[in-house]
Amino acid sequence: MLPREQWEQFEHSILCEKAAFSDNSAGREREEEKCPLRSEYRRDRDRILHCNSFRRLKHKTQVFLSPAGDHYRTRLTHTLEVSQIAGTIARALRLNEDLTEAIALGHDLGHTPFGHAGERMLNELSPYGFHHYEQSLRVVDKLEKEGRGLNLTHEVRDGILKHTNAVAKTYEGYVVRFADVIAYINHDIDDSIRAGILREDEIPSKITSVLGHSKSSRITTLVSSLIECGLNGEAGDEDSLKMTSEVETAYKALHKFMFDSVYTNPVCKSEERKAQDMIAYLYKYYTDHLERLPAMYMNLAYHYGIDMAVCDYISGMTDVFAVETFKELFIPAAWMIK
């Protein structure tokens, strides 16, 4: 037997009956010969890990714009934390870890520079709207590999698209949705404490008495609660994965506390308007000067329209590249007199 076939057989012996099995995948948009070594989902995981968009995540904002410090999260470190948490849940529930990891690694590939501030601005500017989860799917379908896309399996694509506000067709996809919020709410607390805009003892006791008094204990409580409740109903049901009522209530209270204390904090958001103005200037410039887009994006404009191609280009920028491009286009260069 090929190594892939051995692994597929192993999945059937170890995973629960509700898991997504690699040899039962709905396949890819373009049919390919299967890899002799890797399962379909493992292959997708590797394709995402090696793509350009994944590497650019290391220079994209998570919450704090261009933080002056080595220990603040970026979009890449967030993605890795989501993958770790999702993998822990998937293993405990005997779901397919390869599928879970592939979805987790790809879920934020379409995020803009400057985090959700950039996303909100593009959503405001584009007549089609802009949402990072839809853009993440567009990245893997249309933008990677010079427009050829990664040709991922339907299950991975579905999980990427639905990781924010919908229920994926697989339990693995829904696990990533929970892992995403568990990761960001807790590492945002950690980063906020490091930035000096929040203290651990400011989190209300009604929350910490249930979830715990540290990042580690809160993550453990939330993850354990999901595992304790187990898999319910059928994949795709809203309540197919849930926390206990006590933990869910405390989590929702923590989420509200973070929005009130951090996500709308003027210190945290002090530079957002500048970042959004830069994106607005770039958007108008490229819609008016299509010829200045790289060749691939000019081709995308021909097929999908100028607005979508400009969103593709800007959303793929890192924070640093967006700033440097803005400077090049709008800030006069120093005149060097010889």
Return the residue matching tokens 């822990």: 88
Question: 286: which 2 tokens?
Answer: 């490229």
Q: Looking at the structure, do residues 282 and 248 belong to the same domain, yes or no?
A: no
Q: In the prediction, which pLDDT does 197 show? A: 85
Q: Looking at the structure, do residues 257 and 279 belong to the same domain, yes or no?
A: no
In a domain, 335, yes or no: no
What does pLDDT average to over the chain?
93
Q: How far apart are CA 6 and CA 56, in angstroms?
A: 35
In a domain, 10, yes or no: no
In a domain, 336, yes or no: no
Q: Looking at the structure, do residues 150 and 257 belong to the same domain, yes or no?
A: yes
Q: How far apart are CA 287 and CA 305, in angstroms?
A: 10
pLDDT range class, residue 315, cuts 50, 70, 90: very high
Domain boundary among 235, 263, 291: 263
Spell out the alpha helix ranges (H) of 230-294: 245-258, 272-288
- The set of residues, in sequence order, having a beta carbon less than 8 Å from that of 167 and lying 6+ positions away, is 174, 177, 236, 237, 238, 240
Range of the domain at 208: 35-263
Q: How confident is the model over 231-242, as a mean pLDDT?
A: 93
Domain count, the chain: 2
In a domain, 23, yes or no: no
Weakest-pLDDT range from 270-274, 282-286, 305-309, 329-333: 270-274
Q: Looking at the structure, do residues 180 and 322 belong to the same domain, yes or no?
A: no
Q: In the prediction, which pLDDT does 221 show? A: 98
Q: In the prediction, which pLDDT does 63 show? A: 66
What are the CA-CA distances from residue 229 to residues 92, 242, 243, 247, 297 (Å)?
A: 12, 6, 6, 11, 46
Q: Looking at the structure, do residues 199 and 315 belong to the same domain, yes or no?
A: no
pLDDT range class, residue 266, cuts 50, 70, 90: confident
**pLDDT tens-digit series, residues 77-96:** 999 999 999 999 999 999 99
**pLDDT tens-digit series, residues 146-204:** 999 999 999 999 999 999 989 999 999 999 999 999 999 999 898 888 888 889 999 99
pLDDT range class, residue 64, cuts 50, 70, 90: low
Q: Looking at the structure, do residues 159 and 142 belong to the same domain, yes or no?
A: yes
In a domain, 28, yes or no: no
Element (H, E) at 251: helix 245-258
Q: Looking at the structure, do residues 104 and 191 belong to the same domain, yes or no?
A: yes
pLDDT at 210 over 70: yes
In a domain, 48, yes or no: yes
Q: How far apart are CA 245 and CA 179, in angstroms?
A: 18
Q: How far apart are CA 300 and CA 304, in angstroms?
A: 6
Q: In the prediction, which pLDDT does 333 show? A: 80
**pLDDT tens-digit series, residues 66-79:** 555 566 778 999 99
First to last CA, the chain: 72
In a domain, 307, yes or no: yes
Q: Looking at the structure, do residues 64 and 206 belong to the same domain, yes or no?
A: yes
- CATH assignment of the domain containing 144: 1.10.3210.10
SS3 28: strand
Q: How many residues are present in the chain?
A: 338
**CA within 13 Å, CB half, 180:** 23
Q: Looking at the structure, do residues 235 and 111 belong to the same domain, yes or no?
A: yes
Weakest-pLDDT range from 36-45, 132-141, 222-231, 254-263: 254-263
Nearest CA among 111, 121, 106 for reference residue 62: 111
Domain boundary among 263, 285, 310: 263
pLDDT at 328 over 60: yes
Q: How confident is the model over 135-144, as a mean pLDDT?
A: 98
Q: In the prediction, which pLDDT does 61 show? A: 78
Q: Looking at the structure, do residues 184 and 208 belong to the same domain, yes or no?
A: yes
Contact 102, 45 (CB under 8 A): yes
What are the CA-CA distances from residue 306 to residues 286, 301, 310 (Å)?
A: 9, 4, 6
Q: Looking at the structure, do residues 285 and 223 belong to the same domain, yes or no?
A: no
Domain boundary among 216, 232, 263: 263
Q: How confident is the model over 260-281, as a mean pLDDT?
A: 84
Nearest CA among 264, 260, 278 for reference residue 318: 278
Contact 136, 108 (CB under 8 A): yes
Q: Looking at the structure, do residues 72 and 172 belong to the same domain, yes or no?
A: yes
In a domain, 8, yes or no: no
